[in-house]
Chain A
Amino acid sequence: AQSVAQPEDQVNVAEGNPLTVKCTYSVSGNPYLFWYVQYPNRGLQFLLKYITGDNLVKGSYGFEAEFNKSQTSFHLKKPSALVSDSALYFCAVRVPLSGNTPLVFGKGTRLSVIA
């Protein structure tokens, strides 16, 4: 079975400092990994994904994530946090056994960027 763990319910960071939101996964097979962001009372917005190739992937709003197969991790990072980055972040995984199997999500991490 596939699973995703986001070990931190809440991450606080000062504006301008680098941020990291952690994600580890457990799958059998090669994973497809995703990060989404959710603002209050809104749907999820896609940030970035790792499918294959370069382990460092870049996404929207200056975010990036690094796929680490040996540590089964896919941490989300940003060099300089903005107050507007404050939101709920979800990591998700899928193993492409068939084309449209659903994503499995972590429980989310609330990021708070303090001015």
Chain B
Amino acid sequence: DGGITQSPKYLFRKEGQNVTLSCEQNLNHDAMYWYRQDPGQGLRLIYYSQIVNDFQKGDIAEGYSVSREKKESFPLTVTSAQKNPTAFYLCASKRSGRGQETQYFGPGTRLLVL
């Protein structure tokens, strides 16, 4: 996990509420990623960002939003439009350049709906 922090570890969302998951890295990595993990479905990509002030939608972006104003930070907002948000959310990052192929993951945030 080291160098990538996610907070909080557990997050509870009420109906109609937007919530924001934090992801911070001190590894000087250029690219950052958000995945959602559901039992039996593996990891599915929500959004990713290759550089500051730029991001792309992944396979399941609907109901989510992101920003990348700083290199170290890539927060994910789960909006009220996401009807089934209960899942384990994983943030990852990666350095750019040849030989820098590995994505490293944070410890995750578990989101539960009240």
Q: Which residues of chain A have a CB within 8 Å of any CB of chain B?
A: 9, 32, 34, 36, 41-46, 49, 51, 90, 94, 96, 98-100, 102-108
> Is chain B's binding surface mostly helix, strand, loop or mixed?
strand
Q: Which residue of B lies closest to A107 (CB)?
A: B42
Q: Which residues of B contact A104 (CB under 8 A)?
A: 45
A107 to B31, CA, bound (A): 23
Contact status A100-B50, CB under 8 Å: yes
Within 8 A of A (CB), among B80-114: 88, 90, 92, 94, 96-97, 101-108, 110
Count of A-B contacts judged by CB separation below 8 Å: 64
Q: How large is the interface on B (under 10, 10 to 19, 20 to 34, 35 or more residues)?
A: 20 to 34
Contacts of A106 in B (CB 8 A): 42
Binding site for A on B (CB under 8 A): 1, 4, 6, 30-31, 33, 35, 40-45, 48, 50, 58, 88, 90, 92, 94, 96-97, 101-108, 110
In the assembled complex, which residues on chain A have CB atoms less than 8 Å from the CB atom of B4? 43
